[in-house]
Structure 1
Amino acid sequence: MSGRLTTHVLDLSRGLPAAGMKLQLWNLAEGTGKLLREAETNDDGRLDAPLLEGAELVPGCYELLFMAGDYFRGGRLEGRLGDEEGFFLEQIPIRFNITHAAGHYHVPLLVAPGGYSTYRGS
């Protein structure tokens, strides 16, 4: 089985998948950042394909950068939070290490306008 990197975003403020959240994947090897992918979550809060898989998945340090501010400003919370105050979270960086090229690395994001949580999923 070849390795892969996937993600899933849930909007805790609505209790629904975070459809339309933009994100970036960066490789942080040797202290330099290289943008590898830009993507947007589908209606299920997932991506249509893994961020990395097979030979693309190499050990190293990576960062997923979620554009939470853009997502919440996109009208997803009409009537619940006023834009006049802005949003606390603009971008959410999650740095993690890939140690086994054959592994499945799933990085879920549980997000609300004022906080978030993540873990290594399965």
Structure 2
Amino acid sequence: MNTLSSHVLDTTLGKPAKGIPLTLTYPNGDKAEGVTNDDGRFNGWAENGASGFKPGIYTLRFHCQPFLKENHGKSFYPHIDITFELEQQGGHYHVPLLISPFGFSSYRGS
């Protein structure tokens, strides 16, 4: 069963990015939304508690501009899209995002 979570950290402040809206786009074009919690995390996708995510190519959009402008006064990125592929029986997928007003980085976490 495939599950999905994410975590956003503000590397300039050295702390979690609370309140970042997320939009997940499914392979068929459907969308779901979420918001990072006080620890910068989100794992509340309905599929995490049901039968899991189907294999396919997904896009996770992090709407980071409001957070970055509020905390740093500027943001080069209105949003950051991370597109990834979930494999059949791939297990748990964790998509962390490290952000600053002028840079970002991501990787497959655990």
Q: TM-score, normalised by structure 2?
A: 0.88
5+ residue gaps, structure 2, are: none
Contact 2:3-2:47 at 8 Å conserved across structures:
yes
Root mean square deviation, CA, Å: 1.7
Aligned residues: 109
Counterpart pick for 2:85 among 80, 91, 97:
97
5+ residue gaps, structure 1, are: none
Structure 1 residues 25-44: aligned runs within 5 Å = 25-29=24-28, 33-35=29-31, 37-44=32-39
Counterpart pick for 2:57 among 61, 76, 79:
61
Report % sequence identity.
39
Match of 1:46 in 2: 41
CA distance in 2, matches of 1:10, 1:59: 27
Larger fraction in helix:
1
Runs of 4+ in 1 over 4 A off after TM superposition: none
Q: TM-score, normalised by structure 1?
A: 0.80
CA distance in 2, matches of 1:52, 1:115: 31
Match of 1:118 in 2: 106
CA distance in 1, matches of 2:43, 2:52: 17
